[in-house]
A and B are shown apart, each in its own frame.
Chain A
Amino acid sequence: MKKLVTFLALTLSCVGFSTYSVLDTFIVVKNQRSVDINSNISFSFDNPSIYLPSSSSSASSSNGSSTSEPSSSQNSSSNNPVQPNYYEDLTPEERAALFTDEVVYDDDVYSDQDIYIRIHRLRDEADTTNYYVADIRLKSLQYFKTALAKNTFGQNIEERTSDISKANNGILAINGDYYGAQEKGYVLRNGFVLRESARSKAEDLAIYSNGTFEVFKEADKSLRSVAESGAWQVFSFGPGLIVNNEIVVTPDQEVDNKSMATNQRTAIGIISPLHYIFMVSDGRTKESYGFKLYEVAQIMKDWHCYIAYNLDGGGSSTMYFHNHLVNKPVQPTGWGANETIQQRKISDIVYIGK
Chain B
Amino acid sequence: MTLFISENKKAFFRSMWIYAGATVFTAIFGIVYEHFSLGVYSLSMQLAWLYPLLLGTGICAIFAFVPIKYLPGFLPFYIYNFGVAIWTLRSVFIGVIEIYGTTNDLMVIIYTVLGILATVSSLCLYGYGLYIKSKGNLPSK
Q: Which of A1-42 contact B (CB under 8 A)?
A: 2-3, 6-7, 10, 13-14, 17-18, 21-22, 24-26
The B interface is mostly helix, strand or loop, or mixed, namely helix
- Evaluate contact between B86 and A14: CB separation under 8 angstroms: yes
- A214 interface residue, CB < 8 Å from B? no
Query: What is the distance, in angstroms, from B105's C-beta to the closest C-beta of chain A?
Result: 6
Residues of A within 8 A of B (CB): 2-3, 6-7, 10, 13-14, 17-18, 21-22, 24-26, 178, 181-184, 256, 258-261, 263, 284, 312, 314-315, 332, 334
Q: Which 4 A-B pairs have the closest CB atoms?
A: A260-B39, A334-B36, A181-B102, A10-B82
Q: Are B78 and A6 in contact (CB under 8 A)?
A: yes
Number of interface residues of B (CB under 8 A): 32
A310 CB to closest chain B CB (Å) equals 13
- Which residues does chain A contribute within 8 Å of B81, judged by CB atoms? 10
Stretch in B53-61, B89-97, B126-134 with 4+ CB within 8 Å of A = B89-97
Cα of A334 to Cα of B78 in the assembled complex, Å: 38
Residues of A within 8 A of B75 (CB): 6
B29 CB within 8 Å of chain A: no
Residues A25 and B40 in contact in the complex (CB < 8 Å), given A7-B78, A10-B82, A18-B89: no
Establish whether residues A258 and B104, one from each chain, have CB atoms under 8 Å apart when the complex forms: no
Query: Bound state CA distance, A331 and B22, in angstroms?
Result: 31
- Bound-complex Cα distance A259 to B37 (A): 9
Q: How many whole Å from B106's CB to the nearest CB in chain A?
A: 8
- A sample of 9 more A-B contacts (CB under 8 A), given A6-B75, A22-B93, A181-B100, is A13-B82, A17-B110, A21-B93, A22-B96, A25-B104, A181-B102, A182-B102, A258-B42, A334-B35
B74 interfacial by beta-carbon distance below 8 Å: yes
Instruction: Tell me whether B48 is interfacial, beta carbon within 8 Å.
Output: no
Asked if residues A258 and B41 are in contact (CB atoms below 8 Å), the reply is yes
Question: What is the bound-complex CA distance between A244 and B100, given in angstroms?
Answer: 32
The answer on a CB contact under 8 Å between B39 and A263 is yes
